[in-house]
Amino acid sequence: MNTLKKFITAVSISLLSFTFTASATPIDMWDWEVDSAFTLFSAGVIGSDDNHFWDDPSKISWGDASSSLTLGGDDGHFDGENLANGASALTATLTHHNFIIFSGDLLTSATLSTKLQIAPAGFPLAGFIPPLLFNIVFKETSNGATCSYGVDLEDFPEGLHCEDDIFVIDTFGTGIDFNPFTNTFNQKFGLMGYTYNIELAIDSLAELADDVCARVGGGDPGCIGITTHEQQMNSFDVNMTITLVPEPSTILLMSLALFGIVASMRNKHI
């Protein structure tokens, strides 16, 4: 049994050593870059200003070119250095010129793809953390359709026109979670014994009404997205915040428990 006690003690010391080593110093400053582009869009739509990573356009226009979707930055590229934990950084700006189309092709759908890469400040961006990839699926809706939007159509005999267009955020398979309390997307990752959270806040992002979601082809109830108003230039900023996730040290608790077993064995003279 002495061998057993020695083994448990050795494991306990090893676990404690790992705990204190892993707890050396959390990362508090980050370098980052974001690349976005329209990787898919309907026929007849014109693309321009290709993003260097995706090799796809950062601007698309349609109809008589009065309507368009444009990404800010350097053709959809944003980057920054020394972003402190808890601080916010602008990672994208999406502008929708939502005007009535009198001639030409219509935009029926488009997919905006984004790659987010981060690393501890001063280190190469590639190689530390796998890039975060996600899509925004855009659906151009028919302005002539009639829909209720949660109101009683008996109060509006002429019906209500679906003028707003819809952006639905599709993060299936990316590991990103939506927080309905803050209306933000979040993804956790581990690095050097610590857990961090990336929060993405998009202007006006929210859970959309079911009848709005239904207007997007195959849109599921409770979809997450934004809407843009007709006859306006609509701009939406995407801001990123990285934070250290506080969590109890499970390893430390395990180590203390094992030391308790050893102490109990000694008291019982096992």
| CB neighbour list of residue 230: distance below 8 Å, 6 or more residues apart | 98, 99, 100, 143, 163, 164, 165
- The residue whose two tokens read 């900023």 is 237
What SS3 state is found at 32? strand
Residue 107 has pLDDT above 80, yes or no: yes
170 with 257, same domain: the answer is: no
219 with 133, same domain: the answer is: yes
186 with 257, same domain: the answer is: no
The pLDDT, as a whole number, for residue 213 is 79
pLDDT tens for 211-221 read 777 776 656 77
Domain that holds residue 9: 1-23+249-270
Gap between the Cα atoms of 261 and 179, Å rounded: 41
Give the dihedral of Cα atoms 174, 179, 183, 186; nearest 10 deg. Answer: -40
9 with 32, same domain: the answer is: no
Mean pLDDT, residues 1-21 taken together: 47
What is the radius of gyration, based on Cα positions, of the chain? 26
pLDDT tens for 190-248 read 888 899 999 999 998 988 888 777 776 656 778 888 888 878 899 999 999 999 998 65
67 with 187, same domain: the answer is: yes
Given pLDDT bands bounded at 50, 70 and 90, which one contains residue 21?
very low
18 with 40, same domain: the answer is: no
Report the range out of 34-38, 171-175, 202-206, 251-255 with the highest average pLDDT: 34-38
12 with 64, same domain: the answer is: no
Residue 94 has pLDDT above 90, yes or no: yes
**What are the φ/ψ torsions at residue 80 (nearest 5 degrees)?**
-165, 165
The pLDDT, as a whole number, for residue 142 is 58
19 with 85, same domain: the answer is: no
16 with 88, same domain: the answer is: no
pTM of the prediction?
0.73
50 with 11, same domain: the answer is: no
111 with 215, same domain: the answer is: yes
The count of domains in the chain is 2
33 with 13, same domain: the answer is: no
Residues of the chain by 3-state class (helix, strand, coil), percent to 5: 15, 45, 40
